[in-house]
Amino acid sequence: MPSSTLISVVFAIITIALVGAWVGGYLDRYQKIAQDHALDAMGENRASYGLKSALKGQQLSEDQDLNSLQNDTADTVGGLVGKGGLGEGVGSALSEGL
């Protein structure tokens, strides 16, 4: 029983410290690094992901054909500035500023 109490107390202290660091903004640089690694694993950069999210964010109509066209357009435009796209240099430059 005492070992489970000790584990709970240590977990609570670590959680409080992490929440305090997050609220204080001390983890922002690590969050950006983690996001960049995750986007890189998906073959994206911040610019391509942002474009895709913005263009796919709200479906403009109830028509499935138009929704499919909107999603395809978002994927194409985002892919242009993503990893391996024609505008990869532009996407990388934009991603540095985001």
* pLDDT recorded at residue 31: 85
If you compute the radius of gyration of the chain from its CA atoms, what whole number of angstroms results?
A: 20
Q: Are 70 and 54 in contact (CB under 8 A)?
A: no
- Give tens-digit pLDDT for 45-66: 888 888 888 888 887 778 888 8
Residue 9: its pLDDT value, please?
93
Look up tokens 């890189």; give the residue.
40
This model's pTM is above 0.85: no
CA dist 12 and 8 (Å) reads 6
Name residue, tokens 């610019």.
47
What is the chain's pLDDT, residue by residue, as a tens digit (98 residues)?
Answer: 578 889 999 999 999 999 998 888 888 888 888 888 888 888 888 888 888 888 888 877 788 888 888 888 888 888 877 777 777 777 777 777 66
Q: List the structure tokens of 65.
A: 């054909």
List the one residue out of 42, 49, 18 whose CA is nearest residue 31: 18
DSSP tag of 27: T
- The residue assigned the tokens 């609570």 is 12
